[in-house]
Amino acid sequence: MAVIPVAIAGAPYEVRVGTGLLVGLVDQCRGKLRKRRVPIITDANVHAAWGAVIENALHEGGHEAVWRILPPGEATKGWDQLAATLDWLLAEEVERGDHILALGGGVIGDLTGFAAAVLKRGCHFIQLPTTLLAQVDSSVGGKTAINTSAGKNLVGAFHQPSLVLADLAVLDTLPRRELLAGYAEVVKYGLLGDADFFAWCDANAAAMLAGDPALREYAVAHSVAAKARIVAEDERETTGARALLNLGHTFGHALEAQTGFSDHLLHGEAVALGMVLAARFSATRGLMPMASAEHIAAHLRALGMAADISGLSLNCDGRSLVAHMLHDKKMDAGTLPFVLLRGIGEAFLARDVALDDVAAFLDKELAR
């Protein structure tokens, strides 16, 4: 097992990465489960695949699982399910000192984390991430949120979990499409600040995705360590360090908004496309060779991922995608900083990007 400390001032915690952590859940959570009844929020797919394992683990440890099972999918991360979940937690008489368990992907983690942040002005939660994306990214760092009709993650809070248990065994039941979507957030760490890790991805991603256990553990632990370093430095995205984790997201969130936050385009798929767009846009500004941008696109394509928005049937122009971007949380006094690349492994925050240039660039990409 790899143990990665997340050194948030005032709220440090561990991310444990290994196989079989859920079977030993009560032991892993020692000192945190104060009551017999343990509230767990999950979705129907995860419950079907892993509910019994959790149920048994809690039972053997003298606890009882009390489930809230939500519909799978991005639409769950909204006002309706937040309100209903808060009402449920109140009915279950969850107290501030209790821990709520979030068993699922980023949708469940973001929603549960936000509910925990506002329930009684803040109670504890534990992340049990079950997607590759959630293990390498969303379960770590305390960004919690829901989507609104105006856009992605627009209502939320920074609220850190007390513990993250990334059990690699759960990846065995994850559909290939979800695995690939999660891989986008893995390779992101290479692209934004670690050229050696990108080279490792180039050499090992196919075998890692095919299920090699040692490669999986390395990919997850290395990604978590990269994220832990960044969020410990800039928990609330104020210095610019954490904003680099948004590589591909300004473009990606606009694509998600344009496709109605639906299964048509998963978050990770949008981020993969967004990273290629950020790289190509950087190249058009002379910041990096176009060959490097195309290397990224080719890397994703070789794994079976889409790398071109022209294949998406978006039925829109560049200007309408830019309109979605105006809701981006990085927006600052009328300007929108973009995470661009000076090369693979060299992301930076560009504050001088004209949105007309972005719209014109996107028009070309849509027609590619």
Should residue 324 be labelled a site residue for ligand LNCXM5UN when binding is judged by CB under 6 A? Answer: no
Total residues in contact with ligand LNCXM5UN, by rule CB under 6 A: 11
Catalytic one among 237, 256, 269, 365? Answer: 237
HSE-CB for 332 with a 13 A CA cutoff:
13
Residue 352 phi, psi dihedral angles, 5° rounding: -120, 30
Cα gap 357→281, rounded to integer Å: 9
Q: Minimal distance in Å, beta carbon 146 to ligand LNCXM5UN?
A: 11
* 267 assigned to active site: yes
329 interface partner picked from ligand LNCXM5UN, ligand NAD, none, CB below 5 to 8 A per type: ligand LNCXM5UN
* Amino acid residing at 33: L
Q: Minimal distance in Å, beta carbon 228 to ligand LNCXM5UN?
A: 11
- Cα 158 to Cα 143, 145, 208, 237, 276: the distances in Å are 5, 9, 31, 10, 28
Cα gap 154→152, rounded to integer Å: 5
Catalytic one among 30, 121, 315, 368? Answer: 121
Should residue 63 be labelled a site residue for ligand LNCXM5UN when binding is judged by CB under 6 A? Answer: no
Contact 119, 130 (CB under 8 A): no
Q: What tokens were used for 98? A: 């209790």
Q: Minimal distance in Å, beta carbon 142 to ligand NAD?
A: 8
Following DSSP, what letter does each residue of 273-306 receive, concatenated?
Answer: HHHHHHHHHHHHTTSS-HHHHHHHHHHHHHTT--
Instruction: Annotate each residue in 24-63 with x if it binds ligand NAD (CB under 6 A) or - if it does not, as one string.
Output: -------------------x-xx--x--------------
Q: How many CB atoms lie within 10 A of CB 37?
A: 14
Contact 336, 326 (CB under 8 A): yes
Should residue 141 be labelled a site residue for ligand NAD when binding is judged by CB under 6 A? Answer: yes
Should residue 245 be labelled a site residue for ligand LNCXM5UN when binding is judged by CB under 6 A? Answer: yes
List 350's β-bridge partners, or say none.
Answer: 338
**110 marked as binding residue:** yes
Residues assigned a catalytic role:
121, 143, 185, 227, 237, 242, 246, 249, 253, 267
**Interface contacts to ligand NAD, rule CB under 6 A:** 43, 45-46, 49, 72-74, 77, 104-108, 110, 130-131, 133-134, 137-138, 141, 143, 153, 170, 173-174, 178, 181-182, 185, 266-268
**Interface contacts to ligand LNCXM5UN, rule CB under 6 A:** 137, 141, 143, 152-153, 185, 242, 245-246, 249, 329
Residue ranges of the annotated binding site are 106-110, 130-131, 143, 152, 185, 249, 267
